[in-house]
Amino acid sequence: MPIAVGSQPLLGPVVGLVSWTFVMEAWMYALRLPAISRYKVDTSPSMTTADMNAKIPRHMQWPADNYNHLHEQPTLFYAMALALNQLGVNDGLTVKLAWTYVGLRIVHSLVQASRNPIMIRFQIFAASSLVLAGLTAKAAMVVM
């Protein structure tokens, strides 16, 4: 029987961020696949990622970089959101913080994949880290 999301609102941000990761995967492939043939990138098994990337303009690699980033710190978000969900913590503030984290990661993706100004991107990342730290603190308080 399906779980009513209304009773477990932290599942929404989890599904939202996973869905966004697929959007970034599509963006990555939309740039990378044509670039492989356009720039005559050797894709033989002996080539390293660095060798292949050396032929593709850096700005065309930004979506791929971001896709990789969505598999780093967000894994901690998934763990915290699911832990809070299991603990039954689903108050309005916690859910808003979870959606804020997702929103900041989406903004981070758009900034990185389009223009990639490092200091702006860092500020967005730092803000999302603070939100994640808040969610972690909330879980720690409940567990202890």
Average pLDDT over residues 121-134: 98
CA atoms within 13 A on the CB side of 68: 4
Backbone angles phi, psi at 21, to 5 degrees: -60, -40
Over residues 43-88, the pLDDT tens digits come to 999 999 999 999 999 999 999 999 999 999 999 999 999 999 999 9
Domains of the chain and any CATH numbers: 10-143 (1.20.120.550)
At 143, give phi and psi (nearest 5°). Answer: -70, -35
pLDDT recorded at residue 5: 62
pLDDT of residue 6: 76
What secondary structure does DSSP assign to 70-133, as a single string? TTSTHHHHHHHHHHHHHHT---HHHHHHHHHHHHHHHHHHHHHHHT--HHHHHHHHHHHHHHHH
pTM confidence score = 0.93
Tens of pLDDT, residue by residue over 13-50, are 999 999 999 999 999 999 999 999 999 999 999 999 99
pLDDT bracket for residue 1 (50, 70, 90): very low
Residue 134 has pLDDT above 90, yes or no: yes
